[in-house]
Amino acid sequence: MDWAWVSVIVLLVAAVFSVRLALILPFCRRPTDEDETILGGVQSGKGAAKRRPLQLFVFLGSGGHTGEMLRLLDTYHEYLLDSRNTVHIGYSDLQSKQKFLKLADKYKCKNRLYEFKKAREVNSSALQSVKTVLTTLITSLSHVVQIKKAMMSKPHLVLLNGPGTCCIITLLFKLLDLLLLFTSSHIVYVESLARIQTLSLTGKILYFLADEFVVQWEELKLTKAPRAKYFGILV
């Protein structure tokens, strides 16, 4: 093949993926009607009966992160834990798993469980962190592919808060969005209630990747995260 044609093909492919990248990054696109509908549901929990069944993915990050996420799910159960929904739950410890199953039994929602490795252990060294991040990346890919497949062409929401594993999960969802071209993941990240004046490390990263970034203190939005949504305290 003539090298000129190879160059043209390479440039066309690069252009397509550059445009696609711009379309899936939050700073480069306007929220769609579906984005706004999802956010309205998370904020108010109203109108669930009028909505189509939702494919929801939630990651439980253990400890305080799990506690906040479970309170969020419980508070807005009418929308998030509707019996018609399928809730995909990622977890990294058995205690978080058992707490969610107790909540799921309360509202009779369908659920599927996926065990994720922790991206970083507390007080781990830089070398240990690199090793665990790579391990998490590899073991998480198959789970994200399964979840993405279940969500395609259906109303869906990826709801995250807290730990570093959320960064890896978000990157994998965005990578699949980039490769699949005609799909999106509707990722909403809710910053921890404990973060009043500064973002968490995970928050600082996902501020640039999550489709919608939610803070629970107005001061944080005004001083550190102007792109964020603020609906008051959610948990």
The CA distance from 140 to 100, in Å, is 20
Q: At what angle do helices 63-75 and 94-107 cross, to 10 degrees?
A: 10
Topology annotation, domain 31-230: Rossmann fold (3.40.50)
CB neighbours of 70 closer than 8 A, spacing ≥ 6? 60, 99, 100, 103
> How high does pLDDT run on average in the chain?
83
Alpha-carbon distances, residue 152 vs 43, 68, 103, 149, 187 (angstroms): 23, 27, 26, 6, 14
Render pLDDT for 5-43 as a digit per residue (tens, 0 to 9). Answer: 767 677 777 776 676 667 667 766 555 544 444 455 455
Q: For residues 88 and 111, is the Cβ–Cβ distance under 8 A?
A: yes
To the nearest whole percent, how much of the chain has pLDDT over 90? 50
pTM of the model: 0.82
Query: 178-219: per-residue pLDDT in tens?
Result: 888 778 889 999 999 999 999 999 999 999 999 999 999 999
pLDDT at 138: 82
**220 band by pLDDT with thresholds 50, 70 and 90:** very high
Neighbours of 36 (CB within 10 A): 11
pLDDT tens digits for range 148-175:
999 988 899 999 997 888 998 999 999 9
pLDDT in tens, 71-99: 999 999 999 999 999 999 999 889 999 99
Confidence of residue 50 (pLDDT cuts 50, 70, 90): low
Domain ranges of the chain: 1-29, 31-230
* pLDDT number for residue 235: 82
For CA atoms 37, 39, 40, 41, the dihedral sign is positive
pLDDT for the residue numbered 179: 87
- Measured between alpha carbons, how far is 206 from 167 in angstroms, rounded to an integer? 7
pLDDT of residue 35: 47
Rounded to 5°, angle at Cα 218 from 217 and 221: 100
Q: Could you tell me how many residues make up the chain?
A: 235
